Structure formats: structure tokens, C-alpha cells
């Protein structure tokens, strides 16, 4: 016997053209649910071109925010976000090994959303964390962080054949 009824709430309307989402959920004493979804935009993404111009650089620059990457290139009028790199929205830092040909960015996010254990993400956080503190990183699902005598950090994930594989961060 099942004493639980599932009530489908309406589909959440998610803000577009944002860098992150903030979800707030509350349930009152009568079990009525209220929610709010708001978008977060990192203003540093759009401010970086002026800072790069002030340094008189000419090389392409990759910027990172959370699990996004941004490509800045020098143009005639100074640095700008590269449109082919999704402009001010950036590219998702996800990699999927669920098929023989590795998937990156948005294609890997689609696999991640389906709950696949073949997707690796949080790579900037992993690479910037000391191996002695790697146990504090908690991947959301899919891959496992481990180590062995030769490699202080190993990413353990399933490949396209369903086999568990391990790879180093560097």
C-alpha cells in the first residue's frame, strides 16, 4: 500500500540568458508549495574586457565562472566576448564519455541531465583544490574522485562501454 500521493506542480519557468539559477522552495503548514526561480548574472564577465584593455594585452583570454568558460579576443575596438564561444553566456564545462566520440559543453550537459554516470564536471574546482583536500569535493553524481599511489587525484567515471575508467586531472 502506498500512502504517498504525488502532485505535479506546474513546470518551472526558468530565466534565460543567465549564468546561474537560484531556487527557493517553501511549503506552508497546509502543505501548499511556493517557489521562486531567479537568474544570477556575474557582472565580472562583462567587466573583464575593459580590464584586459587597460593591461594592453593582445592575446586571447579564457575566463571562468562557476562551471562556465568565456573566451575574450582582442578586436579593433578592444577586447570582446567571442560570439562563437556563446558570447556573454559562455560554454558549460562538462565532458561526457557515454559514446565513443567524447561530447563537450551543451551536448555533455544534455547527457548529465539524463543522469548518466559518464559525465565529468566541476573540473576547475577539482584542478584548483589541493590533493590533500580533494575529499571535500562532492560531485553531484556520476563520477567519483579517488587516488592511488601514483596519482593524488583520479576521476573515476563510466565510459561508453559501461566500464569504470579512471583518469588524472593533468
Mean pLDDT for each 10-residue chunk of the chain (170 residues)? 60 80 88 86 92 93 90 94 92 88 89 81 76 63 75 79 71
**CA angle in degrees (0–180, nearest 5) for 79-85-91:** 120
Query: pLDDT tens for residues 79-95?
Result: 999 999 999 999 988 88
pLDDT for res 78: 94
Structural domains present in the chain = 12-41 (no CATH), 43-89 (no CATH), 93-168 (3.30.30)
pLDDT for res 137: 63
Cell triple for residue 115? 543522469
Q: What is the pTM of this model?
A: 0.70
Amino acid at each position: 500500500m502506498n500512502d504517498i500521493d504525488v502532485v505535479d506542480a506546474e513546470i518551472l519557468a526558468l530565466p534565460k540568458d543567465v549564468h546561474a539559477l537560484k531556487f527557493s522552495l517553501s511549503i506552508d503548514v497546509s502543505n501548499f508549495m511556493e517557489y521562486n526561480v531567479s537568474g544570477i548574472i556575474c557582472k565580472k564577465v562583462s567587466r573583464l574586457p575593459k580590464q584586459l584593455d587597460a593591461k594592453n594585452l593582445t592575446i586571447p583570454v579564457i575566463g571562468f565562472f562557476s562551471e562556465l568558460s568565456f573566451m575574450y579576443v582582442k578586436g579593433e575596438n578592444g577586447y570582446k566576448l567571442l560570439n562563437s564561444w556563446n558570447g556573454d553566456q559562455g560554454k558549460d564545462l562538462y565532458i561526457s564519455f557515454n559514446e565513443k566520440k567524447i561530447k563537450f559543453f551543451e551536448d555533455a550537459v544534455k547527457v548529465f541531465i539524463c543522469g548518466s554516470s559518464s559525465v565529468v564536471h566541476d573540473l576547475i574546482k577539482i584542478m584548483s583544490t589541493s590533493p590533500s583536500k580533494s575529499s571535500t569535493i562532492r560531485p553531484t553524481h556520476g563520477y567519483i574522485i579517488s587516488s592511488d599511489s601514483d596519482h593524488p587525484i583520479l576521476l573515476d567515471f563510466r565510459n561508453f562501454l559501461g566500464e569504470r575508467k579512471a583518469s588524472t586531472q593533468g
